[in-house]
Structure 1
């Protein structure tokens, strides 16, 4: 198993959806620990959009996978927008593809690593 430092570098960066094109997740480095908005030890900071609403939270890396713990997000109505990414509970990196899973472990979509 990779260390958290190695793993977070696998996941770190921006991953984008094909549909909706405005949906993305961005995995950043270690989260501040504690406080109202702080993460837990070993977690990284997560931000993004489901194509309509902003999402935030933390991720706990483990190998090429990570569990997502949701934090603050906006909750506006999104007629005609498929907000599948708002259901993300875990992810698994496979090269330039990030598989996204819901709370039951079912794959709900994929994201592609953004070019830097």
Structure 2
């Protein structure tokens, strides 16, 4: 027979498990996936599980191969069109590394300075 104390303990355990499972399923720690807003003038990036990537810096298309290591992504050499677009500050073409932080991909230059952030789509 269940007592009130046993019932409360079981209910508390169920609440904790539900909260933990919700945290575990929100987002992925891998850089593989779609990042940024697909909209003219906005950077976006798709990183495939094999490390290949493609996207836009908001003006210029880019495509290449990189390496996924845990939550980190290292951009390899990539091709990019280099046209000028008024009102767009292209920064994604300066990317050397990126790291997943929550539901964002934080992008860094070669000197380690953060140059931008893309949200997971």
Q: 1:101 aligns with which of 82, 88, 108?
A: 108
Gaps of 5+ in 2: 1-27
Structure 1 consecutive aligned stretches of length 4 or more whose deviation exceeds 2 Å: 17-22
Q: Give the total of aligned pairs.
A: 94
Contact 2:52-2:64 within 8 A present in 1 as well: yes
- The 5 Å alignment of 1:34-73 reads 44-73=51-80
Gaps of 5+ in 1: 1-7, 31-43
Q: Is residue 29 of structure 2 the alignment partner of residue 22 of structure 1?
A: no
Which is helix-richer, 1 or 2? Answer: 2
Instruction: Give TM-score scaled by structure 2 length.
Output: 0.69
Which is strand-richer, 1 or 2? Answer: 1
Bigger Rg, which one: 2
Within 2, Cα distance between the matches of 1:29 and 1:9? 12
